[in-house]
């Protein structure tokens, strides 16, 4: 028992934990970013920009609902996911106003 490693006891395996933005990246995002890098494209998805208006600027309504429902969440970068969440909140507030107006009309 002259070996200092044996005297220290069994070693515990320590796995590195992802921190920061890497923790939030899904395999779909990593794949997208890799494909963008290989193609020499910027590391942002311009799909929504091609549709006309940015998701963050899309007014609440049926078109925003369509765009949100057709989005693959696993393919979004953390910044895009944040825009998605904010857009979903705007859509929910809009739907709440519609519901409140309908209830007022019903009660009148």
Q: How confident is the model at residue 84 (pLDDT cuts 50, 70, 90)?
A: very high
**Average pLDDT value for residue range 58-76:** 90
pLDDT tens by residue, 11-59: 554 455 545 555 556 676 677 777 777 887 766 666 656 656 888 888 9
Q: Tokens at residue 26, please?
A: 């899904």
pLDDT of residue 57: 85
Q: Is the Cβ–Cβ distance between 51 and 98 less than 8 Å?
A: no
pLDDT of residue 1: 52
**Average pLDDT value for residue range 57-84:** 89
On the question of pLDDT at 95 being above 90, the answer is yes
Question: CB-based burial of residue 90 (10 Å sphere; 0-12 exposed, 13-18 middle, 19+ buried)?
Answer: middle
pLDDT of residue 78: 83
Dist CA 41 CA 84 (whole Å): 22
């Amino acid at each position: 028992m002259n070996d200092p490693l044996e005297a220290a006891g069994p070693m515990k395996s320590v796995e590195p934990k992802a921190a920061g933005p890497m923790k939030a990246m899904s395999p779909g995002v990593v794949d997208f970013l890799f494909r963008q890098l290989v193609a020499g494209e910027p590391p942002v998805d311009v799909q929504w920009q091609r549709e006309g208006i940015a998701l963050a600027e899309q007014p609440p309504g049926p078109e925003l609902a369509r765009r949100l429902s057709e989005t693959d969440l696993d393919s979004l970068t953390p910044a895009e996911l944040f825009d998605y969440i904010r857009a979903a909140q705007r859509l929910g507030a809009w739907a709440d106003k519609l519901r409140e107006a309908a209830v007022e009309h019903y009660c009148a």
